[in-house]
Amino acid sequence: METEDSADDVFTSSNVQGGNTMNPNGDASNDSRNVPTTSSGTGHRAGFQQEDEEVIAGGSSYLPSHPEPLLPPEAPMVPPIPISISDENYHRGNWGTKLEFLSAMICQLTPFFMFNFAYQCYRSGGLIFVVPFIVMLFVLGLPVILMQISIGQFSSTGFLTMWRFSPVLKGVSASILLFTVGNMVLLNILFTETLSFVYATLSSPQNLPWSSCANVWNTDKCQDTRGISSNSTTRYDVYHNFSHLPTTPAEEYRRYVAEGNSLQIEIIISALVASCLLLQATLMGIKIVGKLSLCCLVASFLLTVVLLVRSATLPGSYVGLQFLFYPVRDYLFKFEVWKNAFFFVAYLLTFNVGTNITLASHNRFHNNCFLDTAILVMVSIFAPLMLAIATFSFFGFFAYHENLEMNEVVTLGPRMFFEALPQIFLKMPVSHLWTQMWFGLLALNLFTSEIGIIIAITSSILDLFGWVHSWRLIVPITLIICVFLFLVTGFGIFFLGIEVFLSSIDEGLQYLPFIVVAILAFSLVWIYGGNQNFQLLRFGRDIEIMVGFFPAFFDVMFTSLWGLIVPLLLAVAILYRIIVSYEFLTMRVWIVFGLSLLVLGVGFILGALHEAYQHIHINTYFTDYFYRASLPHPRWGPALDAHRKYAGYLPSDFTPQPYRLTHGDHHPEAGLQPTQPVEAGSTAKDTADPGATLPASTPLLGLTLCSTETTL
């Protein structure tokens, strides 16, 4: 099996003409790699053998375990499929356009918007919820999004290996993998259930299975309408919990399809189709994922607009819109509303931390991460509002049609989409068409979110072993992931049922992302920044190297946010959630929560001990081993030698070699000691390398969406 240092074996040479090669900027020029040549044609390897001998003489513990591939010194390199010849990084590949990256990031947010935002507005006084939501989005969301994008983009590596800035914490990556897989399984369950409803609407569009109570799965409690008087104050979700009360056909159909101890053929087929679709979408890596995310996002937007217009023109829709747009001002001063807004933003941005970091790692090095963060924050404000308006319009129509109050029809989470809304569509003309459009919208959002998670896990595994991101390795890894999803989904639904399975994952893993993000933010300021002359926002210097600016105001603001406010808020939230929810959590949830804490604790301890052991040959006191383990790893920093030189991780007189994309581990200067930028005590990037210049059209003011490095 290929290792990190032999991963470039898949590169081939072609079109060798006149001894010309391509430099890192893509221009053809004479070969300038200064590679010693021999009569046997193995000069490329001979040069690196000499380097290896120098490293061995220096006593480095970070050595390549296998020889370098034999490549003709004058041959331009052709990257393996699916990496493009126009990509900056021939080892991992880059997004085709900036819009593809933004689309993939937005797709990670939309499922959470759909399932939660409308209900949060309902329980928090209507549109008044938007005020604390926006405040929390800027206080908590903006620094977390910027942190995730920046650390992935700067290090060009996935969430399993991004802890190289402080290797003593690398065991925490096991926890990120755990809740990332949990999130993927949760979305796959919902995607499978959505496909089963899509199949039902397409197989019998004129006679939907939940249109009446005359089916084999219906019970004597089934009623086409609830028959609740308009002055009732019973909420729909509380009402549903009483087994002696009547149920709707949509509820009983979902219970029939998704209940535990039985596995209907619809679910089996849907789970198989879901796995096949996910496999096809991720076989070619981020190139296909980016284009699919962009296309599906546009389709989702168009479907949302159509449903929004239709819902707003229904009779009685004003009832729902009035409930939404006429807020109760007293709610603005209630602790419960601000608490709901905080947890909504926290769940929105912490569960996807591993996925977001890995997706950002495929950006070009000088991509404007500030602009990306601003766009994602704006989308996080306006996208859920569109969905909330459409949802409340449908509920207003249903309340008007059935002579009910709004608090009798609004539901929480998946039940809103699989039970309440299908029943509402039955009251509309051409009901099957609107039902198909609704489930199509839901399927698109779940599908694009899930393929982003799958490709993030795949990329992180490849980065962990240093393998090139070739289709030969992507295909088997994605195949294993999709088979795993099929089996876990099937067995989980069979033994537990969809509702219990979803709640066990969601509630059991809800605390772990908070802990991980708090550790990440804290360590970037107090460990990564504290190790180098106690410069707390050393990571700000890294961002400045990528973008071209990082004002002193940002130093103060982000040092406070990352180093104090974000970790403190998340820590308080964890304690509050555990204390308040202690009596209401089931045994299954406690088991999942306990296992997640076990993975976090064991992973952290083993990772710290393993990294400290790497320095055992140094004769020093015990605690110094862990201090040395907290220093940045030699591979930490930009992937390309040209960027490493510009950032100060290589000497200013070092000649970067094209296509050497292994984070500098074959260069003696980077292998002798933990990576420290030259004169890193100063935040001025030109101090590290006075002769360095930013590439042409780098967005120095942070306002350029498109440049030579990041094109639309």
* CATH classification at residue 445: 1.20.1740
> So what's the pLDDT on residue 254?
84
Contacts of residue 224, defined as CB under 8 A and 6 or more positions apart, other chains included, come to: 212, 213, 248, 249
Residues in the chain: 712
Instruction: Return the structure tokens found at 79.
Output: 């990257």
Nearest CA-CA partner of 352 in 521, 220, 228, 176: 176
**CA-closest candidate to residue 361, choices 665, 544, 122, 94:** 94
Owner of token pair 């991780």: 649
**Does a structural domain hold residue 385?**
yes
How many Cβ atoms sit within 10 Å of the Cβ of residue 484?
A: 15
Q: How far apart are CA 277 and CA 651, in angstroms?
A: 48
Residue pair 664/686 in contact by the 8 Å Cβ criterion: no
Comparing CA positions, the residue from 44, 50, 51 lying closest to residue 68 is 44
Which residue in this structure is represented by tokens 């619809």?
A: 266
pTM of the model: 0.80
pLDDT above 90: percentage of residues in the chain: 38
Q: Residue 159 and residue 173: Cα distance in Å, rounded? A: 7
Cis peptide leading into 82, omega within 30 of 0?
yes
Q: pLDDT value at position 581?
A: 78
pLDDT < 70 regions, the chain:
1-77, 225-245, 260-263, 412-413, 530-536, 619, 656-712
DSSP state of 9: G
Give the three-class secondary structure for 222.
Answer: strand
Residue 408 lies in a domain: yes
At 295, the amino acid letter reads: C
Cα 665 to Cα 4: distance, rounded to the nearest angstrom: 10
Tokens 């999004």 label which residue?
A: 145
pLDDT value of position 107: 94
Q: Looking at the 3D structure of the chain, how many domains does it have? A: 1
Q: Which two tokens stand for residue 44?
A: 């490329």
Instruction: Say if residue 156 carries a ligand binding annotation.
Output: no
Residue 188: predicted pLDDT: 94
Domain presence at residue 533: yes
Residue 456 forms part of a structural domain = yes
Exposed, middle or buried, 379 (CB in 10 Å: 0-12/13-18/19+)?
middle
- pLDDT tens figures, 1-60: 444 444 444 343 333 333 333 443 344 343 333 333 333 333 333 333 443 344 334 333
Q: What is the mean pLDDT of the chain?
A: 78
Domain membership of residue 529 (yes or no) is yes
Token representation of residue 75: 């041959």
Cα separation, 337 vs 128, in Å, equals 9
Q: Is residue 442 part of a domain?
A: yes
| Domain extent at residue 451 | 98-606
The answer to whether residue 63 sits within a structural domain is no
Q: How far apart are CA 4 and CA 64, in angstroms?
A: 8
Does 68 map to a domain?
no
pLDDT of residue 67: 36
**231 CB-contact burial (10 Å; exposed 0-12 / middle 13-18 / buried 19+):** exposed
Is the dihedral angle over the CA atoms 632, 635, 639, 643 positive or is it negative? positive
